[in-house]
A and B are shown apart, each in its own frame.
Chain A
Amino acid sequence: MTDFQDIWTYLSSEPLLWLTATLAAYVIGDALFQASGKRAYINPVLIAVILLAIALTLSGTTYETYFNGAKFVHFMLGPATVCLAVPLYLNLRQVGKSIIPMLVALIVGPITAIGTALGIAYAFGIRGEVLLSLAPKSVTAPVAMGISESIGGSPTLTAVMVILTGITGAIVCTPLLNALKITDYRARGFAVGLTSHGIGTARAFQVNETAGTFAGVGMGANALATAILVPLLLTLF
């Protein structure tokens, strides 16, 4: 009989344990989400992240060791983004006739996202690198980190703010848009994807394919819009 220490040595050096744990944590999060009757505030990503953070802390595992297993899941983000073309293609006619409403939202939405975030943080005394890192938070992580670096922010801080923005958007969007009695799922999806990138888009796909499709378009379009708008808006601060 091998003692536990030997088994742990194997498990902590191989990707299997934390890859399995990542899937298991998500399965639990998703089961709770389904059991709640798909309530937006029971967010499967948030639940999985909390469970895994607890597991890492209790087992004294570093993020590097964890990511050695979780990277296989993380890697699939790229191919999944490419696959957003499929719902887009299937709904192309509907997307085509929405070009003008999308363009209008694409101008005022990012300005609101960047302006209010910088305004509030500035009013509470945030300056310098932290303030700059906040500006591109509504954009998908790789682009946001690139923008952050180019304006003198910290890409790592920006990545944290991007994820927090995504989770916030995914949690607030459904109750907020229901309270406003918005029934146009093109507009609902586009607003959520534009504001909270991939995590918002994932949430929109849980609601329906129209919302998900428009969220994907919003996410892609805002990557460009924010890259252009952030340097312009920063001249005001």
Chain B
Amino acid sequence: MISHLTVILGLQLLGEVITRALGLPLPGPVLGMVFFLVLLVLRPAFADAIKSTAQGLLAHLSLLFVPAGVGVVGHIKTLGSDVGVILLAIIISTIAAIVVSVYAFTLTAKLMGQSND
């Protein structure tokens, strides 16, 4: 457990250092995820060992967004009178982007002759 956490934190650290050193437009943890994937591909036995730690952390991924969400409540008033329009823009554009992306994916998969599941 502790050794697994050390590997996970170490990969995040490596990701943070490299994205900052190279000025990449990518968060450190995302690059850390890429490194972790490479490690798992190279050492499949390690995947079985670390699977439960990782899945435990991901099982309540939603919880981890709560502190940031509470921060938003305090800042909503900085939007002032624009808040209604901003919310409208966010809701419509989120729906539009989901619809367009999902059809782009499924139609391309269909053209390639892939099954639907």
Contacts and interface: CB of A to CB of B under 8 A. Distances in A.
Interface in A129-182: 130, 134, 137-138, 140-143, 146-147, 156-157, 159-161, 163-169, 172-173, 176-177, 180, 182
Contacts of B101: 105, 108-109, 112, 187, 190-191, 194-195, 218
A32 interface: no
B3 interface: no
Given A121-B89, A165-B94, A177-B102, A100 B32 contact: no
A100 B71 CA distance: 38
Dominant SS among interface residues on chain A:
helix
B34 A85 contact: yes
Contact of B57 (A74, A76, A173): A76
Interface residues of A, number: 114
Given A70-B70, A191-B101, 17 more contacts: A74-B68, A78-B12, A80-B57, A83-B54, A98-B105, A104-B105, A109-B100, A116-B89, A121-B85, A126-B86, A134-B90, A160-B78, A169-B94, A195-B101, A198-B65, A202-B65, A228-B25
11 contacts: A82-B32, A86-B54, A104-B108, A108-B101, A113-B93, A117-B93, A130-B82, A156-B75, A190-B102, A196-B94, A201-B61
